[in-house]
Structure formats: structure tokens, C-alpha cells
Amino acid sequence: MGRPGHRLTAALLLAPAWCAAAAAADPAAPRWSGEAELGLLRTTGNTDTASVNAKARLVNERERWRHTAGFDAARTTDGGRTTAERYRLQGKTDYKFSQRSYLFAVAAYEDDRFSGYDYRASLSGGYGRRIVDTATLRLEGEAGAGVRRNQLPDGVREDEVLVHGVLRLQWHLSGTAVLRQELSVDGGEDITTTRSVTSLSARINKSLAMKLSFTARHDSAVPPGKVKTDTETAVTLVYGF
């Protein structure tokens, strides 16, 4: 199937679907929503650079179950030479046992060609709760545990147990503007990964919005020659449905 670990990746990404099988018994009709976003930046003249940032998210909401799938990719070239390239897939299933509380299972796969790893894959599960839930403000917290595999290019595999935590904020500043903040921590035996995503979106019409986002990621340990912190600033056009 090509690169090593693809069978493991497929298993991790399908993990939330194992829980989803029980959703067939959920009598409520599924409600679908999602969004896709794209950002392009090109400079010419004294410098010749191009950047592409793309994301997609699909949500299936039921009375007791919520299934979410996400994909994002980023690529930057400078003078025809690729200087950054990253792909990330994530699948998540929530089982809502009360109005505010739920159990979750999440699987993620990341291929960052400049991180020093061939790929990184993780599977986590635990308990989540909406701490604040009003018309304008929502705050969620998640805590759990899982496992992660870090695959190095030389074939060495680093498997470790994780402690997984997330804080997720959504604040409607006005009828058209939304501020979102997500902070996640995956603390492993060897590496702790912290990821922060801050975004501000302004709706243009019912389906389109402009979005400004800043992403920062920090690894407590990295392969030789790599830096511990990566950041990304993006301006994208978002289509929602």
C-alpha cells in the first residue's frame, strides 16, 4: 500500500466508526452540516512564493450521537522549492448521555514532510462536557487517555501512552462574527504535544465567510535539526452548509 503504517492509519481513522455502528438504533433523523475553506497566497517579483491552505469538516448530528470528520492541508513553495507540506486527518465520535456530557473517541493521522517524522498517528478516548452553553458563548472541556505512534523515516517506531486534554471556546461576538479558540494537549511518555488554534470569522452572507486564523504547535522533544515550535497564520474563504 505504499508508505509503511498505512494499515495502522486506516484502523485508527476507522475507530470512531466502530462506535457509530450503534447509531443505527438512534431514532432521530441525522442532521448534516459542514464547511470547506481555502486560502491562496502568491508573490512574484523579488520573491516567488506560493502558499495553499485548505480545510474541510463534516458533522453528522443525531439525538445521542455526533460524528465529525476533518481534513486539513497546507503547502508552501519558495522559488519552486517546497518549504512546507502538511496533511492531517481526524475522525471523532461523541455519545451524548446528557444535555451537556458525552463520551468521545478520536483518531488522528498527520503527515508533516518537514517535521522529521514519516507520520504520526493517535487514538484517544474519554469524557467531555459543555461547561458553558449559552446563545452567544460555548465552552467545552475534554479529558481522556490514548496511544500514539511516531514513525521515523529510518523505520524506527516510537509508541507511547497519552494523556489527552482539550479546551474549546466559541464566542459569537455579533450576528456575523465568531471567535473560536481550541487548545489541546497530548502528553506522552516521551513527547508532549501542545496545539493552539485561534480564529476569527466574519460572515459575508448565509454561506460564505472570511476567516483569519493563527495556529501554534509545540513538541517538547523533536528529531535532531528540527525546531520545537511551528506557527501558521492564514486568511481563508469559508463555505458552510
What is the tens place of the pLDDT at every residue in 55-69? 999 999 999 999 999
What is the tens place of the pLDDT at every residue in 134-150? 999 999 999 999 999 99
What domains are defined for the chain? Answer: 6-21+31-240 (2.40.160.40)
Which pLDDT belongs to residue 150?
92
The model scores a pTM over 0.75: yes
117 near 133, Cβ under 8 Å? no
Which pLDDT belongs to residue 65?
95
Pairing label, strands 229-240, 31-43:
antiparallel
Which pLDDT belongs to residue 211?
97
What's phi and psi for 77, nearest 5 deg?
-120, 150
**Does the pLDDT of residue 128 top 70, yes or no?**
yes
Q: What is the 3-state secondary structure (H, E, C) of the chain?
A: CCCCCHHHHHHHHHHHHHHHHHHHHCCCCCEEEEEEEEEEEEECCCCCEEEEEEEEEEEEECCCEEEEEEEEEEEEEECCEEEEEEEEEEEEEEEECCCCEEEEEEEEEEEECCCCCCEEEEEEEEEEEEEEECCCEEEEEEEEEEEEEEECCCCCEEEEEEEEEEEEEEEECCCCEEEEEEEEEEEECCCEEEEEEEEEEEECCCCEEEEEEEEEEEECCCCCCCCCEEEEEEEEEEEEC
Q: How far apart are CA 71 and CA 61, in angstroms?
A: 18
Which pLDDT belongs to residue 26?
54
Confidence of residue 8 (pLDDT cuts 50, 70, 90): very low
How is residue 35 written as a grid cell? 464547511
Minimal CA–CA distance to 146: which of 121, 112, 167, 128?
A: 121
Q: How far apart are CA 93 and CA 79, in angstroms?
A: 42
180 near 201, Cβ under 8 Å? yes
Which conformational region is residue 173 in: left (phi greater than 0), alpha (psi within -120 to 50 degrees), or beta? alpha
